[in-house]
Structure 1
Amino acid sequence: MTHLPPPAEELRILDAELYQLDARRAQLLARRAWLVSRSQPVRQWGPTPVAPGPDASAPSVQNVLLLLGGALLTLAATAFTLVSWGELGIAGRALVLGGVTVAALAAPLPLLRRGLRSTAETVAGLGLALTVLDAYALYEVALGSLDGTGYAAAASAVLAAAWAAYGRALARWADPGLRLPVPAAVLVAQLCLPLAAVAVDAGAYGVTVALLLTAGLDTVLALRVSASAVRAVAVVGGYGVGGWGVLAAGWLSWTAPGPSAAARAAALLFLAAAIALGAAWRAPGVAVGNAVAAGLLVTAALAGVPHAVLPDAWTVPVHLACGIALLVAVRVDRVPRGVRTGLAWASGAVQAVAVLWALPVVLVASVGPAARLTEVWSGTPGDAREAVTGVLPWPTDAALAPVVLAVVARVVWRAVRAPEWRPRALAASLVLAWAAVLITPATLRLPYLAALLTWSLLTVALLALRRTVPMALALLTSLPLALLALATEPATLGVLAFLTALCASAARRPAPAAATVGYATALACATGASVGWQPPYVALLVLLVPSAAALWAPRVEGPVRVTVEVAGAAAALLALGLAVTDPPVLALVLALTGVIAAATAVRADRRPVGCAAAALFVLAAWVRLAAWEVGTPEAYTLPVTVPALLVGVLRRRRDPGAASWTAYGPGLAATLVPSLLAVWGDAHWLRPLLLGAAALLVTLVGARHRLQAPLLLGGAALLLTVLHELAPYLVQVAGALPRWVPPALAGVLLLALGATYERRIADVRRWREALGKLN
C-alpha cells in the first residue's frame, strides 16, 4: 500500500525540490557564461572582422512592423470603401465588409490566447477602424436621407458602446484583454453630445451644455476607473472639451444682452464650476488647480447678471465683490486644504486684476501734475481732475477705482495672517490705501484747493508713521503735490513752505533731508519770482539754501550729513546757473559760494573743500575783471599767484621737507608764463621792465634760500625777457656783419667746445650737483 503524505507536507517537498532545481539551473548558467567568455576564436591573418550590432530592439521592430501593417490595411479598407464600393452589389458589399470586420474583430481572441498581444492590438485597431467604415457605408447605402450630423452623433454613440463592450468581452475571455478598445471608445464618445446638440439645433447654449456635460462625464470616468490609458483619455477629454465649454459660457455671459440671457450663461458657468470643484474635492493631486478654476468660474457666474444690468463702471467692482466672497469658503475647516488653497488663489487673482484695472487712474493722478511745469501760475483749475489731466487723459468708467483699491487694501490687511507673509501684506495694504486716497480728489472732481488739502494731509499722515514704506510714499506724494501747486502763486509759495517744514521735521533720514533742501531751493526760486526779480538776482536768494545746509550738516551724522552737503552743493550749482547771464552778479555769487565752501573747509573732516573755495574765489575775481573789461593778464594771474605762494609758505613751515616745485612752482608759473607770453607780443617797455625786475627778484630769493623752483623759473623768465629786449639790437648787429662772419663764429664756437669737452662735462656735473643741493 502506497503512503501519501498530507497536502501541506507534499507542498513543502515540492517547493524544496523546485528550489534545488532553480539553484542548479543558475549554477549551470553561470558556468556556461564563464566558458563562453574564455572561448577564443581561431586567430587569422589580418584584422578580425567585427559583426555590426543591432541598433533597434526586437520589440521596437515588432511594434513598427505591426503599426505599418495595420495602417496599410486600414488605408486599403478605406480605399475599397470609397473607391471600389460601387462595383459590388448589395450582397457583395455586405459580405465583404461584414466578413472582414468580423474577422478583424474575432482574430485578437486566439492571438491573445497564444500570447501575441501586440499583434492582437494591431488587428483590433484594424477592426475598430473597419467599424467606422461600416457605419459610413451603411449611411451611404441605406440611410442617406437622414441628417448627417444626427447620424454621426448616433453612430459615435453606438460605436463607443460597441467598442467598450468589445473590450470588456475580450478581457473576460482572454485575461487581461486589450488596451485599445476601451480608450478608443472614450475618445469617440466625446463627439456624441456635442454632435447631437448641433443636430437638434440647440443653439449656442445647448452646444455649451453638451460640451460641459461631456466634460463632466469625463471627470466622473477619470475619478472612477483604474486603467491608466482610460483615465488619461478621460482627463485629456475632460480638460479639452471642458475648456471649450468654459470659453463658450464665458463669452455668452460677457455678451449677454439682458438679465435672462446672463442668468442662463451663469448657470452654465456654475455647471463648469461644479465639475471643476468635484474634481478638486475627489483628486487631491490636482485640487489646487481645479479649485482655482472653480473659484474663477463662480466669480464670473455671480457677476454675470449684474454685469448685464449695471453700467460698465460697476463691472470690476462687482467681479471684485464676488471674488472676495470666495474667501468665505476658505474659512470652512470641512473643505479640503487643497480646495481652500485654490479658492484663496482664485480670490487673489480677481483682486490682482481689479488692482491692475485701477493702475491707469493712479498713473494719471501722479504723473499728470507734471504738465504744470509748462503752465506755471496759469490760474486755478476748474477741479482736481482738470488739474491732473494735462499730460494723460482720464480713463473711462473709473469712477469706482478708489473703492476698488480701498476694498482690496482692507482684504489684504485682514486676510493674510501667516507670520512670514504678514509684513508684506501690511506694506501692500498701505500702498493700496495710499493709491486710493491719492486718486480720490480727481475721481470725485473735488475743488482744486480740496485736492491740495487732501494730498497735504496724506503726506503728513504718512510721515507720522516714521517707517520706510510710509516715508517713501510720503515723498512720492509730495512731488505731485508740489507740481500741482504750480497752478497759482499763493498755492506754490504755501505748499513749498509747508513741504520744506514738513520734510525738515523728519530729516533724520537721508531721503527727507534731501527733500528738505530741494523744496527749500524751490521755495527760494518761487519767492524770487514772486517779487519780480530776474534770475541772476534770484540766485542770491537761492544761496541761502547752501548756506543753511552748511550750517546744518555739522549737526547731523552719517549718510544724512553727506546727503545734506550734496544737496546744498546742487543748490549752489543752480544759483550759479541762474546768475550766468549777468557777469557782475555771477562774480558775487561765485565769491559767496567760495565763502560757504571756505566755512565748510574749516571743519577737520572737510579740509579738501578748501581747494574748491580757492577755485571759486579765483573764478569770482576773473569774472569781476572780465566784467570791468580788464585785458591785462597779470590782473588775472596775480590773484592766483599770491594765495598760492602763501599756501606754499605755510606748507613749507609745516613740512620743511616739501619740495619747492610743489610749494612754489604752481604759483610762480601762474604769473610768469602768461606774462612772458604777453611780453613777446608787447611793444612797450613797462611790462618787460616790471617782469624783468620781478624775475630777478624771484631768482635772487631762490638763490638766497637755495630753492630750485624760484631759481630756475625766475632765471628762465629773466633770460627770456632780456632776449626779448635785446632782440632788435641783435638783429641789427647780425645785419651789419658780412655774410661769412656767422658761419666763422659758429665754427670757432664748435672748435672751442670740442677742445674743452671734458672741462664742460665737469662743469655741468658741478652745476648739477649744486642744483641738487638746492631744495
Structure 2
Amino acid sequence: MTHIPPPAEELRLLDAELWQLDARRAQLLARRAWLVASLQSVRPVRPALPPAAPRPEASAPRVQNVLLLLGGMLLTVAAIAFTLVSWGHLGIAGRALVLGTVTLAVLAAPVPLLRRGLRSTAESVAGLGLALTVLDAYALHEAALPGTDGTGYAAIAAAVLAALWTAYGRGLGALRLPVPAGLVAAQLPLVLWAVAAGPDPYGVATAMLVTAGLDAVLAFGVAAGAVRVTVTAGAYGLGGWGVLTAGWLSWTATGPSAAARAAALLAFAAVIALVAAARLPERAVATGTAVAGGLLLVAAGGGPLRVLLSAGWVVPVHLAFGVALLAAVRAHRLAEPVRQGLLRASAAVQALALLWAVPLVAVTLAGPPGWAEDPWSGGTVDARAAVTVHTPWPPYAGQALLVLVTVAGVLAVLAVRHETWRPRARTGALLLTWAAWLALPAVLELPYVAGLLLVAGVTVAAAFLPTPWLALATSLHCAFLSLATQSATLTVLSALTVLGATASRRPRLAPVAAPAALGYATALACATGAAAGWQPSHTALLVLCVPVVAALAAGRLGASPATLPVEAAGTAAAVLALGLAVTDPPMLATVLAACGVIAAGTAARPERRRAGYPAAALFLLATWVRLAAWEVTTPEAYTLPVAVCALLVGAWRRHRDPLTASWTAYGPGLAAALLPSLTAAWSDPEWTRPLLLGAAALLVTLLGARHRLRAPLVLGGSVLVLDALHELAPYLVQAADALPRWVPPALAGVLLLAVGATYERRIRDVRHVREVLGRMS
C-alpha cells in the first residue's frame, strides 16, 4: 500500500529537492568556467607572419652569365680600341710584348678558373682570348706583312686560327666555345683562297661546295651538340650558296665548256645531298634533302644540253632526266628516304613540264568555240587555223605535245606496276593522252578534214571509256570544231546524234549520252534550217521534233536515272523552239499548242500528273497568241476559254471531293468569266455587252441560290448589281439634275428615319441572310 504524505509535507520535500538541484547546477557551471580558463592559458599564441619577400626576377646563374658576357665584350672592345688607336704609339718590341703577354695571359687564365670550378668565367675569358688572337693576326699583318694580299692572308689566318682554336678547345676539354669557334673559322679558308686566286666564280662555288661536303662528313662523325649544330649550319649555308652560284652559272653559260663546268658543280652538290640524305636520322629532313639532290641531278644533266639545243628543247631535256630519276624506285639498295626523295623530285619535274605545256592544251580546247560567233566562215583552213580563231598559237607546240605524251606514258607505266597509285595514275594518263590526241592535228598542221576525222575518232573511242564526261567533252570539242564549214557541221552533228543514241543503250552511259544526243539533235535541226534558208520561226517546227522524241524516250525509260536528264534536254529544246518562233505570232501559237500537246502526253504518265498544269497554260497561251494574231480585241474571247476550262476542272474536283468549297472550285472560273467583262462593260457605250453580262450574272446568281453555293451567289449577284448600276447611271444623273436641291437631303432623311424605325427587324434580316450564306458551301 503506497503512503501518500499530506500536502504540507509533500511541498516541503519538493522545495528541498529543487534546492539541491540548484546547488549542483551552480557547482557544475563553476567547474566549466575554470576548465575554459585553463585551456585558454595553455594554447600557444601564433605570432604574426612577416610580409613575403619579393621573388627575384632573374636567377643567380643568369645574372652571372650576363655579367660575364658584358665584361668580355667590354674587354674585347677595349682591346680593339687599343689595337686600332694606340698601336702606333709603341715600338716593335713594345707591341710584340704587349700583344703576346696579354694574349697568353688571357688564354692561360681559364686553366686556374676551371680548377676552381668557375666554368662560366672561364668561358668568358676564353672568348676574350679568341678575340685577341684575331686582333693579333690583324696586328701582325699591319706591322710585319703590310704588302701581302689581304684576302690571301685572311685565308691563311683563318686556317691557322681554326687549327689553334680547335686545339685549344680540345686541350682544355671543359670549355664549349673554342671548338665551335674554330669550326666557324674553318668555313672561310677555302672560300677566301678561291677569291684570292682570281675572279673565278667557278672556283668560289667549288670552294663553297667542298667546304659544305667536309662539314657534312664532320657532322656525321660527331655526336649531337654545339659542334654538330655548327657544322650542320655550315653545310646547309655554304651548300646553299654554292648551289645558287652553280645554278646561276649554268643558266648564264654560253658555251659547252662553261655549261659542263657548272653541271659538274651541280652534280657534286647533288652527290653531297644524296649521301647526306642516306645518313640523316630524321625521315622528313632526309626526304627533303633527297628531293633537293634529285632536282640538282636534273639540272646538272640538262644544263649542257640546253646550250647545244634550241630554247624549245630545254623543258623536254630536263623532263627526260626527271623521268630517269624513276629508276631509283627499283634500286632497293638505296635508303627509303632517298628513294622517296628522288621519286618526288621526278614528280616535281614532270609537274613543271606539264605546266609549261598548259598553253597548248588551253588553245586547243578554248579556240574552237570562237566559231560560234561567225559559223561557216572558215573556208579553206587547216587544223591549226581551225583552233586558233581568236587566240594566238603558242610557241614550241611540238615540244609541248612531246611533254604530254611522255608524262602520260610515265603514268601509264606507274598504273601498271603500282597498285596503290593505279586509279589516280590511270586517270592522269587518260586525261593527258586525250589532250595530246586533240592537240595532235593542230600541231602537225593536218588538213581540216583530216584533223576533224581524227578528233571524231577520239570521240568514238572516248564513248567507250569508263568516264562518260570525257566523251561528252570530246564531242563538244568536235562540234565546235565543225562550225568552220557548213558541210562539216551537218555531218558532225548527225554523227554525234547517232553516236549519242547508240551509247545511250548502255545503262552506265545513258544519263550522259541520251541528253547529249538530244542536244546534238537540236543543234542539227537548227543547222538544217539555217542551211535550207528557212526563217527561224519555221526552223522551230523542226526543233520541236526533239521534245517529242524526248517525251517518248522518257516514257520508255521509266524510273531510269536517265529519265530526268532526257526530260530536261527536251524541255530545253522546247524553250529554244519558242524563242525561235517568238517573232512570228501565228507560228508561235502553233509551237505553243504543240508544246501543250507534248506536256499533256507527258501528264498521261502516272508519275508526271503535274505536267497537266503547264499543258493547260500552254494551250491557253496558244489560244491568246492566235487571237492576238487575228487582231481580236474582245476580252471575252480571251477569258471565256479560260473560264470554261477552270469551271470544268472545278466541277470535276467538287465531284471527286464534295467537301471542296465553292470558292476553290468555281471562284477562279467565275472571276475569269465575269470580272474582265464587267470592266469592259463600264467603258462600253453599246448595250449588247452589259445586257449579256447581266443575263449571265443573273443565271449564275440563280444557280448559286438553287444549289446553295456561296461563290456563284456572291460573284453573280455583285456583278449583276454593278452592271445594273452602270445601266441606270445615266438616268439617275438626269433625274438628279431635274430634282430640286432640297430633294436629295429630304430623301436621305426619310431613309434614315425608315431605317431607324425598323432597325431591329433589319438587323434580324441581315443575320438571317448571313446565316443562309453561312450554310451555303
Alignment of 1:241-390 (within 5 A): 241-285=238-282, 286-390=285-389
What CA distance in whole angstroms lies between the structure 1 residues aligned with 2:540 and 2:280? Answer: 75
What CA distance in whole angstroms lies between the structure 1 residues aligned with 2:233 and 2:751? Answer: 110
Aligned to 1:505: 502
What CA distance in whole angstroms lies between the structure 1 residues aligned with 2:90 and 2:640? Answer: 124
Write out the 4+ residue segments of structure 1 that deviate beyond 6 Å after TM superposition: none
What CA distance in whole angstroms lies between the structure 1 residues aligned with 2:561 and 2:686? Answer: 59
Contact 1:409 1:430 in 2 (8 A): yes
What CA distance in whole angstroms lies between the structure 2 residues aligned with 1:407 and 1:546? Answer: 46
Q: Does 1:644 align with 2:649?
A: no
Q: Does 1:115 align with 2:127?
A: no
Measured against aligned partners, the alpha-carbon deviations of 1:43-63 in whole angstroms (never above 9, x if no partner) come to: 28xxx6343222333333222
Q: Aligned pair in 2 of structure 1 residues 733, 197: CA closer, same or farther (>3 Å)?
A: same
Q: Aligned pair in 2 of structure 1 residues 409, 106: CA closer, same or farther (>3 Å)?
A: same
What CA distance in whole angstroms lies between the structure 2 residues aligned with 1:180 and 1:422? Answer: 55
What CA distance in whole angstroms lies between the structure 2 residues aligned with 1:741 and 1:104? Answer: 136
Deviation of 1:309 (Å):
0.7
Q: Aligned pair in 2 of structure 1 residues 363, 757: CA closer, same or farther (>3 Å)?
A: same
Alignment of 1:18-417 (within 5 A): 42-43=47-48, 49-171=51-173, 177-201=174-198, 203-285=200-282, 286-416=285-415, 417=417
Contact 1:208 1:249 in 2 (8 A): yes
Give the letter aligned to residue 159 of structure 1: L
Give the letter aligned to residue 450 of structure 1: A
What CA distance in whole angstroms lies between the structure 2 residues aligned with 1:322 and 1:427? Answer: 24
Aligned to 1:545: 546
Q: Aligned pair in 2 of structure 1 residues 64, 506: CA closer, same or farther (>3 Å)?
A: farther
What CA distance in whole angstroms lies between the structure 2 residues aligned with 1:632 and 1:130? Answer: 116
Contact 1:372 1:487 in 2 (8 A): yes
Q: Aligned pair in 2 of structure 1 residues 645, 170: CA closer, same or farther (>3 Å)?
A: same
User: Which of 761, 766, 776 in structure 2 is aligned with 1:774?
Assistant: 776
What CA distance in whole angstroms lies between the structure 2 residues aligned with 1:220 and 1:756? Answer: 124
Deviation of 1:357 (Å):
1.4
> What SS class does the counterpart of residue 275 from structure 1 fall into?
helix
Q: Aligned pair in 2 of structure 1 residues 744, 195: CA closer, same or farther (>3 Å)?
A: farther
Deviation of 1:358 (Å):
1.3
Give the letter aligned to residue 743 of structure 1: P
Contact 1:380 1:448 in 2 (8 A): no
What CA distance in whole angstroms lies between the structure 1 residues aligned with 2:175 and 2:46? Answer: 47
Q: Aligned pair in 2 of structure 1 residues 258, 65: CA closer, same or farther (>3 Å)?
A: same
Give the letter aligned to residue 641 of structure 1: A
Contact 2:360 2:439 in 1 (8 A): yes
What CA distance in whole angstroms lies between the structure 2 residues aligned with 1:144 and 1:326? Answer: 54
What CA distance in whole angstroms lies between the structure 1 residues aligned with 2:760 and 2:175? Answer: 118
Alignment of 1:376-775 (within 5 A): 376-416=375-415, 417-465=417-465, 467-468=466-467, 471-507=468-504, 508=507, 509-556=510-557, 557-775=559-777
What CA distance in whole angstroms lies between the structure 2 residues aligned with 1:696 and 1:138? Answer: 132
What CA distance in whole angstroms lies between the structure 2 residues aligned with 1:770 and 1:758? Answer: 18
Give the letter aligned to residue 342 of structure 2: L
Deviation of 1:670 (Å):
1.3
What CA distance in whole angstroms lies between the structure 2 residues aligned with 1:538 and 1:79? Answer: 100
Q: Aligned pair in 2 of structure 1 residues 230, 664: CA closer, same or farther (>3 Å)?
A: same
Contact 2:414 2:422 in 1 (8 A): no
Q: Aligned pair in 2 of structure 1 residues 398, 137: CA closer, same or farther (>3 Å)?
A: farther
What CA distance in whole angstroms lies between the structure 2 residues aligned with 1:197 and 1:300? Answer: 24
What CA distance in whole angstroms lies between the structure 1 residues aligned with 2:73 and 2:770? Answer: 106
> What SS class does the counterpart of residue 367 from structure 2 fall into?
helix
Using the size of structure 2 for normalisation, the TM-score is 0.90
Q: Aligned pair in 2 of structure 1 residues 728, 168: CA closer, same or farther (>3 Å)?
A: same
What CA distance in whole angstroms lies between the structure 1 residues aligned with 2:627 and 2:157? Answer: 107
Deviation of 1:83 (Å):
3.4
What CA distance in whole angstroms lies between the structure 2 residues aligned with 1:125 and 1:246? Answer: 33
> What SS class does the counterpart of residue 491 from structure 2 fall into?
helix
Deviation of 1:159 (Å):
1.6
Q: Aligned pair in 2 of structure 1 residues 232, 726: CA closer, same or farther (>3 Å)?
A: same
Give the letter aligned to residue 256 of structure 2: P
Give the letter aligned to residue 551 of structure 2: A
Contact 2:551 2:602 in 1 (8 A): yes
Contact 2:585 2:629 in 1 (8 A): yes
Bigger Cα displacement from structure 2, 670-679 vs 488-497: 670-679
Aligned to 1:10: none
Paired-residue identity, %: 66
Measured against aligned partners, the alpha-carbon deviations of 1:200-246 in whole angstroms (never above 9, x if no partner) come to: 11512111111111111111111111141111111111111111111
Q: Aligned pair in 2 of structure 1 residues 390, 61: CA closer, same or farther (>3 Å)?
A: farther
Q: Tell me, which stretches of 5 or more residues in structure 2 are unaligned?
A: 1-43
What CA distance in whole angstroms lies between the structure 2 residues aligned with 1:140 and 1:341? Answer: 55
Q: Aligned pair in 2 of structure 1 residues 268, 452: CA closer, same or farther (>3 Å)?
A: same
Deviation of 1:693 (Å):
1.0
Contact 1:543 1:571 in 2 (8 A): yes
What CA distance in whole angstroms lies between the structure 1 residues aligned with 2:250 and 2:664? Answer: 87
Measured against aligned partners, the alpha-carbon deviations of 1:384-404 in whole angstroms (never above 9, x if no partner) come to: 111111233222123122222
Deviation of 1:101 (Å):
2.6
Contact 2:462 2:474 in 1 (8 A): no
Deviation of 1:564 (Å):
0.7
Contact 1:361 1:401 in 2 (8 A): yes
Give the letter aligned to residue 709 of structure 1: A
Deviation of 1:381 (Å):
4.7
> What SS class does the counterpart of residue 250 from structure 1 fall into?
helix
Aligned to 1:4: none
Using the size of structure 1 for normalisation, the TM-score is 0.90
Deviation of 1:361 (Å):
0.7
Contact 2:110 2:126 in 1 (8 A): yes
What CA distance in whole angstroms lies between the structure 2 residues aligned with 1:773 and 1:79? Answer: 119
Q: Aligned pair in 2 of structure 1 residues 96, 734: CA closer, same or farther (>3 Å)?
A: farther
What CA distance in whole angstroms lies between the structure 2 residues aligned with 1:80 and 1:737? Answer: 134
Contact 1:672 1:717 in 2 (8 A): yes
What CA distance in whole angstroms lies between the structure 1 residues aligned with 2:344 and 2:527? Answer: 51
> What SS class does the counterpart of residue 682 from structure 1 fall into?
coil
Deviation of 1:41 (Å):
6.9
Contact 1:381 1:487 in 2 (8 A): no
Give the letter aligned to residue 674 of structure 1: P
What CA distance in whole angstroms lies between the structure 2 residues aligned with 1:134 and 1:204? Answer: 31
In the alignment of these two chains, the number of paired residues is 726
Deviation of 1:624 (Å):
1.4
Q: Aligned pair in 2 of structure 1 residues 79, 559: CA closer, same or farther (>3 Å)?
A: farther
Bigger Cα displacement from structure 2, 647-656 vs 747-756: 747-756
Q: Aligned pair in 2 of structure 1 residues 69, 670: CA closer, same or farther (>3 Å)?
A: farther
What CA distance in whole angstroms lies between the structure 2 residues aligned with 1:324 and 1:83? Answer: 63
Contact 1:284 1:338 in 2 (8 A): no
Contact 1:381 1:387 in 2 (8 A): no
Give the letter aligned to residue 513 of structure 1: A
Contact 1:295 1:346 in 2 (8 A): yes
